Amino acid sequence: MPRDTASATSTAPVLTRLRAEAEVRHASLIREWADIVTWAEDNIVEGVEGAATVREGFIDTGLPLAGDGAPLVSEFALMELVAVLGRSPDGGRAYVGRIVGCAWRLPHVWAAVMAGRLAPWRAERISDMVGPLSAEAAAFVDRNLFNASGVGWAQLDRLIAEAILRFDPDRAEAERAAAADQRYVDIDEPNSNGQASISGLLDAADAHDLDDAIARRATLLGSLGSAASLDVRRSQAVGELARADLMLDLEGAPARRATINVHITDTTLSGDNPVARWNDRPISAEQVREWLGSATTVVVRPVIDLAEHIPVTSYEIPDRHRTSVELRDHTCRFP
């Protein structure tokens, strides 16, 4: 029951006890993970995927719990383990699969969990996200998660996308082609105020061009005296674009202009690097070729040696340093 403030004792002992219990639970969970891996090592079923093995008079099927590169484990042994863990058959299989996936496919992530640097729930999610990847692609993601405890999910998404481009280009191209078929633009019926909603999914380069055109029109409307907000002027700009050809814009709207930063590596020279980037997002080189085909102006920037060290004596960050860091790390970096 509630106690008044005057009679309430300090919560410090309670917080200390809760923290100690949380540490005990964490340590127990890490021991559980280690024991599950030991169990998996003792219950590997040799043979090709899907093959059945005769064990002690019964046929035992080896189950692929964690994707390419992880071992098959005994189906009967798994049923026993899941019962001991007190989990449902499906939930228990998924849980064990994530742990096996970490141990065999993500050694850096596994080591971080065992050392207490990475929370097990984070490792489970990483294992889930790389589950469909090949062993090579999963190893690439694992190597690049050099600081797994601080990894952001957006960064992980980019790493997985790049791994697919590098190690499974056929899948990447098939997914890109399928995604291209999902493009659309819908305009709803007007509401009672005479306004209509627009939704759509565009090619990134088309979306960039459209955004540029809308921004130019909105700026022009403002310079001509419109007191409307920027959002309203942008909406009005869409209507103006619909009533006039973009190339006849009074402000001299430019056609598509592409800027390319060329990176020369050993894999590029051998023709084995299918990865390009749009800002910090990995995309396929084939997608870039398509965009360049519709560009009127293409600017190729000089090759930058990303390993070069150029000292400066000023406090301000030179543009060349900022560009080098952005091209090297594909994300923002604290100095």
Model confidence band, residue 59 (pLDDT cutoffs 50, 70, 90): low
Whether the pLDDT of residue 313 is over 60: the answer is: yes
- Confidence at residue 32, expressed as pLDDT on a 0 to 100 scale: 95
pLDDT at 310: 76
Asked whether the beta carbons of 164 and 133 are under 8 A apart, the reply is yes
Nearest to 242 by CA among 198, 295, 202, 208: 198
pLDDT exceeds 80 at position 333? no
What is the C-alpha separation between 98 and 332, in angstroms, rounded?
A: 30
Binned at pLDDT 50, 70 and 90, residue 230 comes out as: very high
User: At residue 41, does pLDDT exceed 60?
Assistant: yes
Q: Name the maximum alpha-carbon separation found in the chain.
A: 88
pLDDT of residue 55 exceeding 60, the answer is: no
Who has greater pLDDT, 263 or 111?
Answer: 111
Q: How confident is the model at residue 6 (pLDDT cuts 50, 70, 90)?
A: very low
Dist. CA 77–CA 43, nearest whole Å: 7
Predicted pLDDT of residue 251: 55
